[in-house]
Amino acid sequence: VMDFEWTADDRSPPPPLEIIEFPCVLLDMRRSAWPGRELGRFQQYVTPQRSRLTPFITELTAITQRMVDPPNGTTFPVALERFGEFLRSHGIEIDQPGGGASSRVAVVTWGDVDCATALRLSCEQWRVPIPKLFSSWVDLKQCYRRHYKRDPIGLRRTVEEHLGLTFEGRAHSGLVDSFNTAKIVLRMAKDGFVFSQGTRGFGPDGLVWGSRHSKKRAVDGGAGTAQKSGLAGARAGQRHQAHTRAEVDSAAAAQQPGEPPRPHELSPADREALEQMAAELHDEEAQRACAGGQP
């Protein structure tokens, strides 16, 4: 169960989106452990490369610049590596596909924006592949809505008002939010919900499947019957992918052998692709992420 925190501001223009806290609460949901139990927790602060933390994000999350600067914070690739080590200590490989019907592990998030937007952009920034564990994930909001036949009303209110549980800790700490999201997972399992496979993920073209545009394209078969909005989304994605590949190739050529990966700046094409992704997901959190709002 994961809930990233990232750079943001309440002023325009917002800082480039970069993950600043990489947390996880690992649950054992096997039948032998029904209705589930906690196995461990992981937390790593990440140093943003393209901006300093704003007063807005520090007030929101209580994360300070000192907390994300070395030695407390580290680069995103190192955070990924340490997360992989944490998983391996529990017999899980970060490059094993997650969320599939035959998978034994799945990432769960409160909404799609953590994986579809924050993780993807951080991987692109550092020119590292998205680990196969994140190839698909479970949007707990969608599962909650399906199981209880009611709309979630925010993480804290869902925990306290809908489920009658205690929200522990300071909201908008990534680890605290992950822990309280895990409470919802355990309650849903106890109430009979079966987590069988992911609700969203990345397709072969790098786009998020399960969104309205991807469904439209699947129905139309990519033919000319697609509406202008669908074509615009596809073209934006193509321009983004082509632009990113060119930047990566150029940066890779300039990088010295053995040198650690360096981040590259998000271009207008990257920003356009992020905004298109938010529109496809129809998720308020993703829309706020594009505008520099709260994670």
Q: Which residues pair with 68 in a beta bridge?
A: none
Q: Is 172 a known active-site residue?
A: yes
C-alpha neighbours within 13 Å on the C-beta side of residue 36: 21
**Hunting for tokens 């993780």 — which residue is that?**
119
Which of 18, 21, 124, 172 is labelled catalytic?
A: 172
Please count the helices (runs of H) and the strands (runs of E) in the chain.
12, 8
Q: Is 5 a known active-site residue?
A: yes
User: Cα–chain-centroid distance for residue 47?
Assistant: 17
Which of 5, 18, 280, 285 is labelled catalytic?
A: 5
DSSP tag of 116: I
Q: Provide the angle, in degrees to the nearest 10, between the axes of the packed helices 228-254 and 212-220.
A: 110
Q: Provide the angle, in degrees to the nearest 10, between the axes of the packed helices 228-254 and 268-281.
A: 140
Q: State the catalytic residues.
A: 5, 172
